[in-house]
A and B are shown apart, each in its own frame.
Chain A
Amino acid sequence: MNIPILSYMVFSPILGMILVMLLKKEQVQGIRWVSAIFSFIPLILSFFLLANYDPSTSKMQFVEFHKWIPSLGANYHLGADGLSVPMLFLTALLSFVSIIGSFNINFRVKEYFAFFLLLETGMLGVFCALDFFLFYIFWEIMLVPMYFLIGIWGGPRKEYAAIKFFLYTLFGSVFMLVGILALYFTVEPHTLNMMELIRRAPELSRGFQLIVYVAFYLAFAIKVPIFPFHTWLPDAHVEAPTAVSVVLAGILLKMGLYGLLRVSYPMFPKAALYFALPLALLAVINIIYGALVCMAQKDLKKLVAYSSVSHMGFCVLGIAAITVTGISGCVFQMVSHGLITGALFLLVGVLYDRAHTRDIDAFGGLWVKLPVYSGIMTLFCLGSLGLPGLSGFVSEFMVFIGAFPVFKVIVAIAVLGVVLTAGYFLRMIQRIFLGEFNPKWEGLPEISGREIFTVTPLAILMIFIGVYPMPLANMIRATMENIVRLVGG
């Protein structure tokens, strides 16, 4: 493959950002469409990735390698495997959808889209960087636009949420930096090449692995987030503007899991085995605790936010199991949660834009007035609560079946989450859409064509993966088997 397709993907949003900055700030339509086009390019390219990916091997593909800072040993090194490709696709898709969904932003439009495009580059970069230096740069680059996107276009407590998000994540990444340096100086000859480090992993002593694992774990666990590092999430999600919540939940949370699978597991296999049980326990806490807290929510957006905590627990459980099915289930859940929760945030935004409230008890009987909106929202809620035929079910089932042989009791407890999830979603559906119509909302307009357009691809994929998971399973299989082999020895 001679075309540097990954670089094109990663840097086309930056190009879009530059173009947006060159436009006058009054040219609102122009800014919107330039952003849409330049976030559409990675999406097209990601289809190219999907089509050309060879699923028979776990080797890195579409690799680009250039010397960058020889004195540090830092290289420009990109590549994608069965873990990266689905994430790159998801990122490209959700970013594009979010940009379309942001067309109703009217305040400081130019900066908004510029930040958004920068954010997209950072996210895409993380999922294909194979050099720690590069990885760290992309990881940190996302923080800045995210901080401003929440802090400027956010809700009433935006400053607090933005600072909390920024500092919390930064706190974690400092530990990651320490971990990276520790690795760099331990391995002889010094290298930042992640592939090389994975190859050299058996040389690392157990004690060293345990310590560095913990350092990386802090960075990743905060991102996922894993209990008890999750409290930045509801604040950030609730205060962020709709499209940013979509990206936050749909993609940023996955970076923690991606990090665990890309860095922690292959590089510190002994630590991964050592910490498997505690990780599984934390996972089940995430699932049950998150679901129970959801039940107590009165704010619709906060409910969706806490549901992410619960759903990420399934991913973590799959990872902790260290079985092919469990880890595959985690990747399925990553994709599935991205689609479903992304859509849920978009839909919550649709309602909020019209009603200017997210109080669940303020509505009632909306189905009579907004049948299309209610139907779509219910569809995604059903997806989220793991209804068979939709992607969430396949992924949860895979996590369970993959983890059951390893953690029988923990899985049996985690299954409780399935009922709790049904409980809070049905409660929410009932309060908002069913029952007697609240005449206060007589004038509420139905969901618009543009808004339907944003969730349609998500719905199609959700159903497709739910009905026929084979293509995705085939794509990730070799990579997942490799990860399990690396850890299990």
Chain B
Amino acid sequence: MLASSWLIPLLPLVAFAFIVFFTNKRPKLSSYLSVGAVCGSFVLSVPVLFEVLKNPITSEFKFTWIDLQGFTIQMGILIDPLTAVMLMVVTIVSMLVHIYSIGYMAGDPRFSRYFSFLSLFTFAMLGLVLANNFFEIFIFWELVGLTSYLLIGFWFEKKVAADAGKKAFITTRTGDLGFLVGIFLLVSAAGTFNFNQIFHQIEAGSISTGILTVSAILIFAGAVGKSAQFPLHVWLPDAMEGPTPVSALIHAATMVAAGVYLVARTMTLFAASSSAGLIVAIIGAFTAFLAASIGLVQNDIKRVLAYSTISQLGYMMLALGLVGLTAGTFHLMTHAFFKALLFLGAGSVIHAMHTNDIWKMGGLFPKMKITAITFIIASLSISGIFPFSGFWSKDEIFAVAAEYHPIFLLVAIIVAFMTAFYMFRLCFVTFFGKPRDKHKFDHAHESPKVMTIPLMILAFLSIFAGWLGIPWLAKGYSSFVFFHHPHHAEPKIWLMLISTIVALSGIGLAYLIYYKGSISAEKLKEKFSFPYKLLFNKYYFDELYQAIIINPIMGFANFLFKFDLGIIDWLVNAFGNFTLFISNVKEWFDTNIVDGAVNGIAWIFKKACTGLRQIQTGYLSNYILVIFFGILLIILFKIA
């Protein structure tokens, strides 16, 4: 049964190939193929879950993919409770996004293409979840990156969209550098890529702590990129330039979930190195705070949601860093549902209003009841209001944080307050009050059923999915997905009370400012103009990176190119020219000196001969005269 799970990712891949090669010209058919494939994946994932629930052990199926000295890889699938849960989350959210897209993308000229990418995306994420070794997970990791590049930049005629896709790809790949080197380090120490084998070695203590810490931190760098944690969080807010259902998928079940999943999958590593774990937790907590604070003041509905995603991912990292596998993955699951719902709801609003700016919306509640109600349900869930899903999962995280150090709990609580505030700021401004743009308001309408039904299903899940993890439940989530042994913390009533009070006060403040208007937002803005500007401009991260990373690299590249032409190639040419110069000198030397010498000698002889020829008169009398004088000279010489 489990052995045939490889079919789960395969179906969407087949759909992708089929659309690209055959049904590209037939949009309807393409979308059905794509939806059918993901539904098939879902149907196949359900028995996997039940099988694992019945018998929660780790099963692995593999075959040899390459076998060289020092490089042997057995590709395969690994199924354990974590995988089973992730399969459910990914297939459900993906399926709903697929269905919703039929309505949302209707009439797009590249409709088929959109669905082929969506299928590829689902394939990549499912493959990632099922991977049994570091090499395989990296392959799917990169494919997830590629498909989000393609989908974020789907409307590539818009420069911002094309830019955003590129930014996502390159930023996440920067994190992947660490991931790669981390894999190299770990694999060269362990001698295998296989997860289970590596984890066994770690637990047996046969890999030194130093290597574990360094490789854990490096691998985490990959997760920082994918899950948009500080300092690589900058790509995610821009990624909303893609079609909204894609944002839902990226922010909920795929792309960003991959980073969290990676850390969860390699929990052994972070558990073995407490310092690496602590770094994960600190980055998580810091990111949660940073992003939530930016989310307070953004005006674009999707941008607020994007920062909220970053912030919630920070929560998950916080929990995972403190070895709270249950809490981290539980929140990953509940978050997937309510965040998908928020994005799809936002998409429904955008579909109706043709704008992202919340200050052009308002009073939409009566016009879009389903969208509004489901959106509010999701907001209550993310804010952590009893008894919605988010309440239970956030509570788990609080419990983990409280157990480790109060400072983590404090940060978590502050973030919870901000979350409740910015979510209800959105709700009040968008759905209540007076319509701000009359023209747009008049054209607004509820979305078609194909879009609202997914919203309702997700709303259901946003309320009830968290009930699986109610701490009083005997066989709840915590007894299914856990690290080493189930974490049966006593339910802390005081913590639940605090979190409820905090969330309610966040909502209350938003109510006072944006619904009642008893506190003026404008006045606050003026009073705190510096922090407001700082937050509104997202702490100037983009500008900073442009100035300290991108510009220097481009400058250096241009310099090197000039260096290449001006120095290295110049030297080559100079060498050539020098040779030419030498030849010229040689030629001159040849003609003037060598040849000159030859000619000179000839000339000397010629001149000499001409001179000597004078003697050769041919007259006998002259010769006798010379002989006579000659003898005379000899005689004189002898006498002397």
Report whether A324 and B70 are in contact in the complex, using a CB–CB cutoff of 8 Å.
yes
12 pairs, CB–CB < 8 Å, chain A vs chain B: A292-B557, A324-B68, A324-B71, A365-B156, A388-B139, A388-B143, A401-B188, A404-B188, A419-B173, A434-B157, A473-B66, A477-B68
Which of B67, B146, B162, B184 contacts A470 (CB under 8 A)? B67
A296 interface contact, C-beta 8 A: yes
Cα(A199)–Cα(B261), bound, Å: 53
Report whether B139 and A389 are in contact in the complex, using a CB–CB cutoff of 8 Å.
yes
Question: Across chains A and B, which 9 residue pairs bring their CB atoms closest together, nearest first?
Answer: A388-B139, A295-B557, A296-B561, A434-B156, A324-B69, A434-B162, A231-B569, A325-B71, A404-B184
Residues of A within 8 Å of B68, CB to CB, are: 324-325, 328, 398, 473, 477, 480
Interface residues of A (CB under 8 A from B): 164, 167-168, 228, 230-232, 289, 292-297, 323-325, 328, 365, 367-368, 382, 387-389, 393-394, 397-398, 400-402, 404-405, 408, 411-412, 415-416, 418-419, 422-423, 426-427, 430, 433-437, 468-470, 473-474, 477, 480-481
Report whether A401 and B184 are in contact in the complex, using a CB–CB cutoff of 8 Å.
yes
Cα(A436)–Cα(B163), bound, Å: 12
Residues of B within 8 Å of A473, CB to CB, are: 66-68
Report whether A419 and B66 are in contact in the complex, using a CB–CB cutoff of 8 Å.
no
Cα(A2)–Cα(B395), bound, Å: 78
Cα(A402)–Cα(B188), bound, Å: 9
Report whether B561 and A365 are in contact in the complex, using a CB–CB cutoff of 8 Å.
no
Cα(A286)–Cα(B185), bound, Å: 23
Report whether B181 and A412 are in contact in the complex, using a CB–CB cutoff of 8 Å.
yes
As a 0/1 sequence over residues 117 to 154 of chain B, the CB contacts with chain A under 8 angstroms (1 = contact) are 00000000000000000010011101100100100010
Report whether B184 and A411 are in contact in the complex, using a CB–CB cutoff of 8 Å.
yes
Cα(A168)–Cα(B576), bound, Å: 9
A291 to chain B, nearest CB (A): 9
Of A389, A401, A411, chain B has the most CB atoms within 10 Å of the CB of A401
Report whether A415 and B177 are in contact in the complex, using a CB–CB cutoff of 8 Å.
yes
Which of B140, B146, B177, B553 contacts A295 (CB under 8 A)? B553
B89 interface contact, C-beta 8 A: no
For window 596-614 of B, CB contacts with A under 8 Å fall at: none
B558 interface contact, C-beta 8 A: yes
B78 to chain A, nearest CB (A): 18
Residues of A within 8 Å of B181, CB to CB, are: 411-412, 415
Cα(A437)–Cα(B162), bound, Å: 13
Cα(A412)–Cα(B64), bound, Å: 27
Cα(A426)–Cα(B576), bound, Å: 37
Report whether A389 and B564 are in contact in the complex, using a CB–CB cutoff of 8 Å.
no
Known pairs A401-B71, A419-B177; A167 contacts B576 (CB<8 A): yes
B159 interface contact, C-beta 8 A: yes
Report whether A422 and B67 are in contact in the complex, using a CB–CB cutoff of 8 Å.
no
Report whether B157 and A437 are in contact in the complex, using a CB–CB cutoff of 8 Å.
yes
Known pairs A167-B576, A295-B553, A434-B156; A419 contacts B146 (CB<8 A): no
B513 interface contact, C-beta 8 A: no
Of B70, B142, B187, chain A has the most CB atoms within 10 Å of the CB of B70
Residues of A within 8 Å of B187, CB to CB, are: 401
As a 0/1 sequence over residues 151 to 189 of chain B, the CB contacts with chain A under 8 angstroms (1 = contact) are 001001101001100100110011011001100110110
Residues of A within 8 Å of B593, CB to CB, are: none
Report whether A402 and B71 are in contact in the complex, using a CB–CB cutoff of 8 Å.
yes
Residue of A at shortest CB range from B140?
A: A388
Report whether A402 and B70 are in contact in the complex, using a CB–CB cutoff of 8 Å.
yes
Residue of A at shortest CB range from B72?
A: A325
Residues of B within 8 Å of A422, CB to CB, are: 169-170, 173
Report whether B553 and A481 are in contact in the complex, using a CB–CB cutoff of 8 Å.
no
Report whether B70 and A292 are in contact in the complex, using a CB–CB cutoff of 8 Å.
no
Cα(A401)–Cα(B190), bound, Å: 13
